[in-house]
A and B are shown apart, each in its own frame.
Chain A
Amino acid sequence: MLSRVANLIYWIARYLERAENTARIVEVNAQLVLDLQARQAADDPRAWEPLVFVTGSDEQFHELYGDKVTERAVVEFMLFDKRNPSSVLSCVAFARENARCIRDQLSAELWETLNTFFLRLKDDDFTRYAQLGAADYLAWIKCQTQLFHGVADAMIPRHEGWWFYDLGRHLERADNITRILDIKYFMILPGLQAVGSALDMVQWASVLRSCSGFEAFRRARRGDLDLVRVVDYLLRDEAFPRSVLYSVSEAEQCLARIGPGDGQPAVARARELIVKLREDIRSADIKAVIASGLHEYLDGLQLRIEQIHVAVQRAYITHRPAATPDQLQTQGA
């Protein structure tokens, strides 16, 4: 297929996955704030700040909204602000623009699902969000992205286009899960002794819930909710669809289905990077990872996912010669 078309499909999947996970990140925080209320004022800036850090857009946030981190500002920024390229509205608008360009190659139903979602979303703002309540509003967003995926799953023939779609979705998801895990790093506990406290447990439960993984975790891993066990589950579980390992493995299989591309070393490079990433995660020792810094480890995973993205672009989309690992390092950073 045409590289441009493959790329548009790939990004539709990425944008919608990102929109869904952004909604999940806001949701987990909204719940946490409710749990915190007894201990902290709900409008404590520290309650909403982690979200801004974790999406990597804190500079832009402060540029647009100043120093004060309120619930209203964060929700506006993450859900509705078109100036933020990662806001839910931006992602859905980008996905729709992409879909429009290849509309004649998508099924009519698929286009309509996305178009309707966009048209209903585009005039919403914090007031509407507050009226419906965080839980209902965010559930609606998740529902719409899942509806799109459901229709896509039922409609797109399993040719190359589908594998690009699925590749985009799983690479984006792997990246987003590392960011959700990282939220906890930024969350404030009253003191060191609070590690393992009730509050700590509540926070971990919220992280799991935001990945729809609370019940699955309970069934799969009996015992306490603690740092090592939750991180291990969301990073390394082989069966849970929202674990990083699962997402990377899926992406690896998509890449294998896409075919040899132009036969250039770039394809081999992309495959090599993804296999290595999967193996490294599978054999990771989470206790050791935490001891040497979870935040840094997650940062490293994000960088490697980005390198895979760049290699895929080289192999199938831009048709530039494969870069040396050194060049990729700079590209990814």
Chain B
Amino acid sequence: MPDLFAAYDTDKFYDEMFAAPGRPRPHYQRLHDRFCQMDGISELLTRQHTADQTFVNRGVTFTVYSDNKGTEKIFPFDLIPRIIPADEWARLEAGLRQRMEALNLFLADIYGPQKILKEGIVPREMVETSKNFRPELVGVPIARDLYVHINGTDLVRDQHGTYRVLEDNLRTPSGVSYVLEDRQVMKRVFPNLLRDYRVRPVETYPSDLLSLLLHLAPAHVPEPTVVLLTPGVYNSAYFEHSFLARQMGIEIVEGSDLVVENDKVYMKRTDGLSPVHVIYRRIDDDYLDPRAFNPNSLLGVPGLFDAYRKGNVALCNPIGTGVADDKAMYHYVPRMIKFYLGQDALLPNVDTFLSGDEKDMAYILANLEQLVVKSVDEAGGYGMLVGPHSTRAQIEEFRGKIIANPRKFIAQPTLGLSRCPAVCGDVIEGRHIDLRPYILNGPSIKIMPGGLTRVALRKGSLVVNSSQGGGSKDTWVLAAEDQEATPAVPEKLIV
């Protein structure tokens, strides 16, 4: 049999599959054997083609508008799964749970008594100068005392294989639809392997999300109406919005479908105005209500902020969570965990230097060639500098920006992100990956087993964002020996 991995080079990185060249880690042994039974790379490519075609047929595509032809592309998908053993996942889960608890308490605190600011653990100035802080919400009660409902925490593994938190996404994290679709495709392409591995299912996510949303509805409403608010069909995540709305059986609405009267929200239906109680919004705070925030927003609903403040409608995530996922605030999360929970952080951060700090600033400016510099309030891989991969001119451009605006940047050492084998053309090569688990904070904290594994398909690239040439892999969290892979009885059926 030809060994598909014969030429595979782990290089100097932590490799998810191989402990050393030719020596797969125990939890990858079965997959390794299965792949080596294949009829060379051609069988793998045939399966890859089947997978790609399935994505096209299922409409898991985004549309490229620039050429005006309505060309559709799929989000690249790599066939080789990322496998996480049960004990490893248990540790991750505990760390993510702890982080969600602390972040919720932090937001409750800064929109309440502000103890953490009074005690000087987090600098007051840091919170108050954040453009995502909403001082007008301080002291305003919020549904079920839940200050954040969904977090997409990005994790990476360093060269020693240690998981570290790269950032939190507390506003409108996206990508979960790809997790569900990737699994559907894998069930088709590798059904036996998936079963033999006892992979924990991810399919309950939409119903977990719906229970969370229903939990947020004003208490006096017997049959609350939940909607998903999208910026519209031209948004690059529109597929996900319509996918989740369909999975949950709720209406997908645009801002113009909603109207606020007497501080209550209604949707315009052909049979009249019909009340709305919970909005799963996929629009940033700034665009939610032109009357309260950005007056130029055409996506939002005039008056929505007042309806929200009066408790007539719940928003998921709530307004103002962005203050806690700011890349500079990230630096303080381990201290928040200590302050609120009296515990040490189970999941370490990546070392972070704040250009707002004098000592850190000096270090950053002296070491730009080795650092990754990120703008604190941008996402999607935009506005960042990867020192070792940049030209002299790019580095100098950033130097100027940092000096001009110290609050706006953080710097981190360039991590040797872990790699996982990926199908690249007609060979298998190592590519850098990260992991975004989705943490739901509703009646209880629920974490989908796994999450979105993003892979930087460009050779040598460290940027996994889909806007920058990234793709995805299915993430297999294995059931423990004493654990059922599939819960025997559905916990609760939601109609």
> Which residues of A come within 8 Å of B, CB atoms?
1-4, 6, 100-101, 103-104, 108, 115, 119, 160, 164, 258-264, 316-317, 319
B267 surroundings in chain A (CB, below 8 A)? 2
* B203 interface hit (Cβ, 8 Å): no
A160 surroundings in chain B (CB, below 8 A)? 270
Bound form: Cα–Cα A124–B246 in Å: 38
Bound form: Cα–Cα A316–B268 in Å: 9
Contact with A along B39-83 (1 / 0, CB 8 A): 000000000000000000001000000000110000000000000
Contact with A along B222-260 (1 / 0, CB 8 A): 000000000011000000001000100001111011000
The residue of chain B having its C-beta at the shortest distance from the C-beta of A101 within the complex is: B233
A164 surroundings in chain B (CB, below 8 A)? 270
Interchain CB contact under 8 A, B270 and A258 = yes
Interchain CB contact under 8 A, B70 and A2 = no
| Minimum C-beta distance from B262 to chain A (A) | 15
> Which residues of B come within 8 Å of A, CB atoms?
59, 69-70, 232-233, 242, 246, 251-254, 256-257, 267-273
Interchain CB contact under 8 A, B269 and A1 = yes
| Minimum C-beta distance from A146 to chain B (A) | 23
Bound form: Cα–Cα A2–B272 in Å: 9
Interchain CB contact under 8 A, A263 and B272 = yes
Interchain CB contact under 8 A, A4 and B70 = no
Bound form: Cα–Cα A317–B272 in Å: 9
A259 surroundings in chain B (CB, below 8 A)? 270-271
Contacts known (A2-B253, A101-B233); A108 close to B59, Cβ less than 8 A: yes
The residue of chain B having its C-beta at the shortest distance from the C-beta of A104 within the complex is: B242
A258 surroundings in chain B (CB, below 8 A)? 270
Bound form: Cα–Cα A101–B233 in Å: 6
Consensus secondary structure, chain A interface: helix
Bound form: Cα–Cα A119–B69 in Å: 7
Interchain CB contact under 8 A, B59 and A6 = no
B273 surroundings in chain A (CB, below 8 A)? 262, 319
| Minimum C-beta distance from A255 to chain B (A) | 12
B252 surroundings in chain A (CB, below 8 A)? 104
Interchain CB contact under 8 A, B270 and A1 = yes
Interface hub of A3, A115, A164 (most chain B Cβ within 10 A) = A3
**17 additional A-B residue pairs with CB within 8 Å, beyond A1-B269, A4-B254, A262-B272:** A2-B267, A2-B269, A3-B257, A100-B70, A101-B232, A103-B233, A104-B246, A108-B59, A160-B270, A164-B270, A258-B270, A259-B271, A261-B272, A262-B271, A316-B270, A317-B268, A319-B273
Contacts known (A101-B233, A108-B59); A2 close to B268, Cβ less than 8 A: yes
Contacts known (A100-B233, A101-B233); A3 close to B268, Cβ less than 8 A: yes
A3 surroundings in chain B (CB, below 8 A)? 257, 268-270
B256 surroundings in chain A (CB, below 8 A)? 4
Interface hub of A6, A100, A104, A115 (most chain B Cβ within 10 A) = A104
Bound form: Cα–Cα A317–B256 in Å: 11
Interchain CB contact under 8 A, B70 and A319 = no
Bound form: Cα–Cα A115–B59 in Å: 15
A260 surroundings in chain B (CB, below 8 A)? 271
Bound form: Cα–Cα A82–B59 in Å: 29
Bound form: Cα–Cα A6–B270 in Å: 7
| Minimum C-beta distance from B228 to chain A (A) | 12
| Minimum C-beta distance from A257 to chain B (A) | 12
Bound form: Cα–Cα A259–B271 in Å: 8
Bound form: Cα–Cα A115–B257 in Å: 26
Can you pick out 14 interface pairs between chain A and chain B where the beta carbons lie within 8 Å of each other?
A2-B257, A2-B269, A3-B268, A3-B269, A4-B256, A101-B232, A104-B252, A115-B70, A259-B270, A261-B272, A262-B272, A264-B272, A316-B270, A317-B270
Bound form: Cα–Cα A6–B267 in Å: 13
| Minimum C-beta distance from A92 to chain B (A) | 13
Bound form: Cα–Cα A262–B267 in Å: 12
The residue of chain B having its C-beta at the shortest distance from the C-beta of A161 within the complex is: B270
Bound form: Cα–Cα A264–B273 in Å: 11
B253 surroundings in chain A (CB, below 8 A)? 2
B251 surroundings in chain A (CB, below 8 A)? 2
Bound form: Cα–Cα A273–B273 in Å: 24
Interchain CB contact under 8 A, A119 and B70 = yes
Interchain CB contact under 8 A, A319 and B272 = yes
Bound form: Cα–Cα A155–B11 in Å: 55
Which 6 A-B residue pairs are closest in the complex by CB-CB distance?
A: A262-B272, A3-B268, A104-B242, A316-B270, A101-B233, A6-B270
Bound form: Cα–Cα A100–B269 in Å: 20
| Minimum C-beta distance from B226 to chain A (A) | 14
Interchain CB contact under 8 A, B268 and A261 = no
Interchain CB contact under 8 A, A261 and B70 = no
Bound form: Cα–Cα A74–B360 in Å: 71
Bound form: Cα–Cα A253–B346 in Å: 66
| Minimum C-beta distance from A148 to chain B (A) | 16
| Minimum C-beta distance from B251 to chain A (A) | 6
| Minimum C-beta distance from A293 to chain B (A) | 39
